Structure 1
């Protein structure tokens, strides 16, 4: 497993995390409620700057969901924070 996360890795993680929640009606309902978008709008929204960062923030904002994803996929939870910093809308340390 790579130590460093690059932008491609970050995007892949966010897309995989989005697919994971889309396959779970309970997670999807919570995600839609928190983001204010509809299921029909997800595909279009996924192309918007900041959307993938929002997916990662959804997981980071609820540790049980994060751990559930990580256990199911063998992903190190720390990769979510690393990936978030690389995505548009997730760079919180930029002046």
Structure 2
């Protein structure tokens, strides 16, 4: 399945909400990005930021599997959604 930008943003917003509900991961995300709590709300509509949310989750197989299991999201959906957001295009070196 190929994601439209709107569908990708919706999935990333779901991921952001999921992160916000997990006290074990939210501080890790905030520390990794340097973002404050008030900035989370402000940047929730920013496609670049939403791509970063998906990038963060995909850094760890356990995190992405928890997210997908908890939300009923197919395991390949976050990567497909990430590709539809700014900076998500796969690099081709040839």
| TM-score, structure 2 normalization | 0.88
State how many pairs are aligned.
93
Q: How does 1:9-88 map to 2 (within 5 A)?
A: 9-88=7-86
Output one character per residue of 1:8-65: Cα deviation in whole Å (capped at 9) or x when no partner.
Answer: 2111100000000101111110100110111121112223341000000011111101
Unaligned 5+ runs, structure 1: none
| TM-score, structure 1 normalization | 0.87
Q: Which runs of 4+ in 1 moved over 6 A?
A: none
For the aligned residue pairs, the C-alpha RMSD in angstroms reads 1.8
Unaligned 5+ runs, structure 2: none
**Distance (whole Å) between structure 2 residues aligned to residue 51 and residue 57 of structure 1:** 10
**Distance (whole Å) between structure 1 residues aligned to residue 47 and residue 5 of structure 2:** 13
